[in-house]
Amino acid sequence: MNKKANRGGKGSGDLSRRPAANAGTTKGKQSRTAPTPRKRTATRRPIRYRELGDWEAAARIDDGFETGRLDDIRTSLDLTVRELSVVLQMSPRTLNRRKSQDRLPPDESERVYRILKLIELATDVLGSEDDARDWMKEANFALAERTPLDLAKSEPGAAIVERLLEQIRHGVAV
């Protein structure tokens, strides 16, 4: 006989069905009504892209980013559809076609992730979305007169931009 299954009476073997201590009690008596489930709100919590671990980022990229992230980039950087298509290295027609789908393919999701991560870092380092937007779109002496957005088209270029932002954060002369 299993002593563990016998303790606590009826149904005690299933821990998920046990009421929490003092849950729904009134003056020591247990309530007979089930607690009402919490309502989920429609607002989504913003993702902190720089805080995603490599495994989680890889999984999200493999699943495909929501196509709404394209608009996140466009509005954050105040880009036209044409400018966004250049940054993400896809034609404007493909970009418009993607908006009618739920998710992006993994290769495009990786490019979106790279840009969103840099926008987030630039905003943190420079203090505001406006400053980050301006900085990402201006040619920079430390980047051989290229814009951070132009360099961010490739992973090595994005790494250069990220290093520059970290140097700015720590007050290193550039």
Which pLDDT value is given to residue 32? Answer: 53
Looking at residue 30, its pLDDT comes to 52
| Average pLDDT along the chain | 82
Tokens of 19: 């009421």
What whole-number percentage of the chain has pLDDT above 90? Answer: 66
* Exposure string for 4-25, b = 16+ CB within 10 A, e = fewer: eeeeeeeeeeeeeeeeeeeeee
pTM recorded for the entire structure: 0.71
Q: Which of 57-61, 90-94, 134-138, 153-157 has the lowest mean pLDDT?
A: 57-61
- Report residue 169 as tokens: 């954060």
pLDDT classification of 158: cutoffs 50, 70, 90: very high
SS3 content of the chain, % helix, strand, coil (to 5): 55, 5, 40
Residue 146 has phi, psi (to 5 degrees) of: -100, 160
